[in-house]
């Protein structure tokens, strides 16, 4: 029997899953949060990370240079 079962999710053809809303609320997971993925005793374990990565603005006009600059900022290596 499973422990804290809070819902089911299905793996998509792109190997993505949706985290059930009960779990998101219980753990305080929000859009943009980073999760650690580990395997423990044959189980996939997701853990909320304190790591934060910047969200890039979407839409027209986003250039490769903007993306590269945001990556450098996220790594603490601003030019």
- What's the pLDDT tens digit per position in 18-63? 999 998 998 899 888 888 899 999 999 988 887 766 555 665 666 7
Count of domains observed in the chain: 2
Are 7 and 43 members of one domain?
Answer: yes
Are 25 and 63 members of one domain?
Answer: no
Are 12 and 29 members of one domain?
Answer: yes
Q: Report the SS3 class of residue 39.
A: strand
CA atoms within 13 A on the CB side of 46: 12
The 10s digit of each residue's pLDDT in 8-30 is 899 999 999 999 999 899 889 98
Are 44 and 61 members of one domain?
Answer: no
Are 38 and 61 members of one domain?
Answer: no
Contact indicator for 44, 23 with CB cutoff of 8 Å = no
| Domain assignment of residue 38, given as a range | 1-48
List beta partners, residue 47.
Answer: 36
């Amino acid at each position: 029997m499973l422990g804290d079962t809070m819902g089911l999710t299905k793996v998509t053809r792109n190997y993505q899953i949706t985290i059930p809303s009960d779990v998101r609320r219980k753990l305080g997971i929000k859009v943009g949060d980073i999760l650690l993925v580990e395997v423990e005793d044959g189980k996939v374990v997701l853990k909320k990370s304190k790591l934060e990565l910047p969200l890039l603005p979407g839409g027209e006009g986003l250039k490769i240079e903007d993306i590269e600059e945001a990556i450098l900022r996220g790594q603490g290596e601003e030019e």
